[in-house]
Amino acid sequence: MQEELINLRNEAIAQISSVENTIDLEEIRVAYLGRSGKFTLLVKKIKDTPSEKRKEFGITLNESKNTLERLISDKKQEMIKSISEKRDWFDLTMPGSKLDLGHLHPLTKVLKEVKQIFNFLGYQIADGPEIESDYFNFEALNIPKDHPSRDTQMTFYVDTKGTDLKPSETILRTQTSAMQGRVMEKMKPPFRVLAPGRNFRYEQVDASHGFEFWQVEGFVVDKNIHLTDLFGTINYVLRELFGKEIKTRFATTNFPFVEPGVDTYMQCTICKGKGCSFCKNTGWSEIMPAGMIHPNVLKNAGIDAAKWNGFAFAIGLSRIVNLRYQIKDLRTLTTPDMRILSQF
C-alpha cells in the first residue's frame, strides 16, 4: 500500500510539472484530489491497512495530498503570471466589448400587448394549425366551394400525394377565422375567444401586403349581442394600442361569415392622414374587418342561432405593428437585417 501511494504521488507530480494550461491542470486536480479522485479513494483503504503500518500510511497520505495541493496552486499562479507577462500591453482599465443582446421582435411585442388587452376584457387565447382543412378555413365559415369570395383569397394548396387526404382539401390557412369553427364545435357558449396566428395568401407583395401576414381573430358568442358592442370593443382596443386621440371610421362591407359586415379604418399614423404609399394615399388604413357572426356559421358548429348570437373581428397584426412604429413598408417586418431589427 505504501509503495502504491508513493508511485501515485510521483505520477501526479510528473503530470503537474508537464501540464501547459489551467484547464488540464484542473482535470489533474479532480482526478487525484476530487471527490472521486485517486487519493480520496486511498483514504477509504486505511481501514484495510495492517494496524502496525496504518499510522505511517496515514501520515504519508496526508503529506502527499498537501504536497499535490501546494504544487497545483503554485503551478496555477505560475501560469497566470506567464499569461500576464505575455500580455503586458493589456490595459485592465479598458471597458470590455459590448455584447449584442437579444430582444423581442416588434410583432411579438405588439402581440403580447394585444393579448393583455383582450385578457382584461375576458377573452381566452386559442391556438390553431397553420396547415388547415378546406372545411374549417372556408365551408364552416359559410363559404362553399363555388363561392366567389374564394377567388379573392388566392389560396396555397398543400400537395397531399401519397397520403390518405383528398386532393385540394388541405391548405395553408388564409385567415385565423378558421379557428371559429374549431372552437365553436368544442366549447359551449357563452365564450370570448382570441386566436392569433400566421396566415398565407398568394398576393402581390407591396408596402401594405404580403404573402405571409399575422392576424388576430376575435369572436364572442353570447345572448343579446349587438353591433354597438362590436363598435365599442374595436374603439376601446385601438385606443389602448394607439392612444385616445386616434380617429376611426366604419364602412359597410360584405363577408360571407358575418351579417352585417363592417370594415374598420384608422387614420394612418405614418402620414398623419395626408396620404402615403402604405395607406395608398387615402390617409386611412384598413385595420380591422368585422361584423355580426352569420347564423349559418353558428349552425355549422351546432349552436342554436335563435338563442345565441355574437360578433367577430380580425385584427391585421402586421399592419398594427407598421402603424404603431411608423414603418412605411410591411416587408420590413420579415427582413433579417439586424440594422433594422435592432432599433426596436
Question: CB neighbours of 306 closer than 8 A, spacing ≥ 6?
Answer: none
Residue 58 corresponds to which amino acid?
G
Is the preceding omega at residue 95 within 30 degrees of 0, hence cis? no
Task: Give the rounded percent of residues in the chain with a pLDDT score beyond 90.
Answer: 32
Report the share of the chain in percent with pLDDT over 70: 93
pLDDT for 332: 77
Identify the pLDDT of residue 341: 74
Query: Is residue 315's pLDDT more than 80?
Result: yes
pLDDT at residue 210 in the model: 63
Residue 82, judged by CB atoms within 10 A of its CB (0-12, 13-18, 19+), counts as exposed
Q: What is the pLDDT of the chain when averaged over all its residues?
A: 85
Cα dihedral across residues 268, 270, 273, 279: positive or negative: negative
Please check the confidence at residue 130 and state whether its pLDDT lies above 60: yes
pLDDT of residue 154: 78
**Which segment, 82-91, 140-149, 297-306, 318-327, is predicted with the most confidence on average?**
297-306
Please report, in angstroms and rounded to a whole number, the separation of the first and last CA atoms in the chain. Answer: 68
Q: In the predicted model, what is the mean pLDDT of residues 280-290?
A: 88
pLDDT value at 270 more than 90: no
Residue 84's pLDDT is what? 63
Query: 106-341 adopts what CATH topology?
Result: BirA Bifunctional Protein; domain 2 (3.30.930)
- The predicted-structure confidence for 142-197, as pLDDT tens digits, reads as follows 888 877 767 766 788 888 888 888 878 898 998 899 999 999 999 999 999 999 99
Q: What is the pLDDT of residues 218-237, one digit of tens each?
A: 999 999 999 999 999 999 99
pLDDT over 80 at 240, yes or no: yes
- CA-angle at 94, arms to 88 and 100, nearest 5°: 120
